[in-house]
Amino acid sequence: MSDIPVLYGSNKKQRYESLVAALYQDVFRYALWLCKNKPLAEDLVQETFLRAWRSLESLQNDKAAKAWLFTILRRENARLYERYRPELVDIEGQVIAENDENEPDFKMDRDLLHNAINRLESEYKEPLLLQVIGGFSGKEIAAILDLNNNTVMTRLFRARSKLKVEFGIDDPEPAAELHTE
């Protein structure tokens, strides 16, 4: 991808600062999408960059930095849920505020799409998020998820198809989707 910067700097600190400056927003956006909670996303990103600092010398190619960080973030998110124990709250007597009725239509549409994507099976959701949120190509997604490129392209096609079905969108040329990368 051409938008991945080459990280300049003669020492580790300069290289790391360049990495953070160039990719923080992309990593944060992906974290927020994964966990849907801003403070938690901030914590995940902080832990991601801390781990990146510790193993920066393992990053051989600076053009792979974004994929490398997304992989670290995905692992951090998985670690979080390995040890997560939700707190159970008795809902009897709880008052639920209805604050959605005055929100703009675009937020409702965005929420509908967000929920539809979250209902996709993980095998379809992950590649789609990496493409849409991360901006990765099929080949890059294949490398991140350790899959065959054809498998990734099939999963992306099926994910979009499932979303189209859910929203009742007819696609006059479904085969055209197979040729995108």
Q: Output the pLDDT for position 167.
A: 84
Residues 152-160 have a mean pLDDT of 94
Q: Output the pLDDT for position 94.
A: 53
Q: Model-level pTM greater than 0.75?
A: no
Q: Where are the alpha helices (DSSP H) in the chain?
A: 12-35, 38-54, 65-82, 105-119, 122-132, 138-145, 149-166
Domain ranges of the chain: 12-82, 105-179
Candidates 3.40.50.2300, 1.20.1250.20, 1.10.10.10, 3.40.50.300; CATH matching 105-179: 1.10.10.10
Question: What would the pLDDT profile of 23-74 be if each residue is shown by its tens digit?
Answer: 999 999 999 988 889 999 999 999 999 999 999 999 988 889 999 999 999 9
Residues 109-121 have a mean pLDDT of 84
46-60, 70-84, 112-126 — which one is most confidently predicted on average? 46-60
Apex 150 CA angle, 145 and 154, nearest 5: 90
- Sequence-ordered list of residues with C-beta below 8 angstroms from that of 56, at least 6 positions apart, any chain: 12, 15, 16, 19
Would you state the structure tokens that stand for residue 81, as one six-digit string? 């849920």
Could you tell me if 56 and 16 are in contact, meaning their C-beta atoms sit under 8 angstroms apart?
yes
Q: Which CATH number applies to 12-82?
A: 1.10.1740.10
Q: DSSP per residue over 51-78, as a string?
A: HHHHTGGG---GGGHHHHHHHHHHHHHH
